[in-house]
Structure 1
Amino acid sequence: MAKYDKADIERRMQGAVESLKSDLSGLRTGRANTALLDPVHVEVYGAMMPIGQVATVSAPEARMLAVQVWDKANVSAVEKGIAKSNLGLNPMTDGQTIRLPLPDLTEERRRELAKLAGQYAEKARIAIRNVRRDAMEALKTDEKKKEISEDDRKRSEDEVQKLTDKYVADADSAAEAKEKEIMTQ
């Protein structure tokens, strides 16, 4: 087990929040946004890859996304990945280009997207708590090895808990802001 490193713990928790913000940016509000497809992964060449590594995503119109797949053999895999992504998009394939018209958001779809934002936030909270768990285990290991005292361990555990609370609050506020945006636009 690695030694306790506060900077590394904070960096990993910050990473979970940044990942959440990236996922949330992909949730659609009213306009076409290429970030909408960022969370989409497709199975190509026997591996799961982000859509950006197999195609170019563009927004040629305000309510349309276009996905230009580089390798013709991957078109159906990209189409499948988009369909599985739970983004409510209906892919239309034209050769190596997949067009994604963005339908108007219904009240029901807004609720689904808000719920998805909540799921992304929960995933981030779990990641943050996993980092906390790793830090607590590292502290206990350091104490057993007599590298730190019991008082140092307790003080550091309090620091870790404060960092956890801060980053969970950041994740919650990012999700709340996105949910509000989805429900009002």
Structure 2
Amino acid sequence: MSKDDIIKDVRRRMDGAVDALKHELAGLRTGRASANLLEPVRVDAYGSEMTVSQVATISVPEPRMLSVQVWDQSLAKAVERAIRDSGLGLNPIGEGAVIRVPIPELTEERRREMGKVASRYGEQARISVRNVRRDGLDKLKKLEKDSEISQDELRGASDRVQTVTDERIKQIDDLVAAKEKEIMQV
């Protein structure tokens, strides 16, 4: 693998982390319910962790209500517990295989909670980007150690990786700031 391939791979993986953040932030709706809101919720099912969308159908019957139709009724309690423990401030109501999730009116306190959730998502994305940077730099150092590139080429490639990292971190910060501003708007 050449240094250019490594830098392309780093860029692609960092873009993936930013895209994942965009997807998670899209689920944080301020005014109405969104099926994406439950996307990050993980359920213990069949001996492994799965997302709610992998074990149930999520629909939005009303602007302030989510309906979760669990495919296997034996998982209904686990899904209900996962939603309650997700940190999203939701209180699901189980009715057999159907779980109703009322979306509470956004009070000032609730808006702050949602802002903290957005910040947490942003921090996870920043950690992912930094991990990708570390992996890329390790691969570049290995190329230099194996005498495939010179120290100058290593330094230049490392600078390019750092530039890409800085761009993605700024992009993440901007996305989170915009979402927090949207959440805090009354």
TM over 0.5: yes
Aligned counterparts of 2:2 and 2:145: Cα–Cα separation in 1: 12
Name the amino acid aligned to 2:45: V
Partner in structure 2 of residue 130 of structure 1: 131
Name the amino acid aligned to 2:132: V
Name the amino acid aligned to 1:15: G
Identity of aligned residues (%): 53
> Quick check: 1:42–1:81 contact (8 Å CA) kept in 2?
yes
Partner in structure 2 of residue 13 of structure 1: 14
Name the amino acid aligned to 2:10: I
Aligned counterparts of 1:89 and 1:28: Cα–Cα separation in 2: 13
Aligned-pair CA distance for 1:28: 3.0
User: Is the partner of 1:105 in helix, strand or coil?
Assistant: coil
Partner in structure 2 of residue 93 of structure 1: 94
Structure 1 residues without counterparts, runs of 5 or longer:
none
Name the amino acid aligned to 2:171: D
Aligned counterparts of 1:171 and 1:6: Cα–Cα separation in 2: 19
Aligned-pair CA distance for 1:44: 0.5
Note if 1:32 corresponds to 2:33.
Answer: yes
Deviation string, structure 1 residues 46-66 (Cα, Å, up to 9, x no partner):
100011110000000111100
Name the amino acid aligned to 1:127: S
TM-score, with structure 1 as normaliser: 0.96
Name the amino acid aligned to 1:172: D
User: Is the partner of 1:56 in helix, strand or coil?
Assistant: strand
Partner in structure 2 of residue 182 of structure 1: 183
Partner in structure 1 of residue 46 of structure 2: 45
Aligned-pair CA distance for 1:139: 1.0
Alignment map for 1:32-181 (pairs within 5 Å): 32-181=33-182
Deviation string, structure 1 residues 62-99 (Cα, Å, up to 9, x no partner):
11100000001000010011011111111111111000
User: Is the partner of 2:60 in helix, strand or coil?
Assistant: strand
Task: Note the aligned Cα RMSD (angstroms).
Answer: 1.1
Aligned length: 184
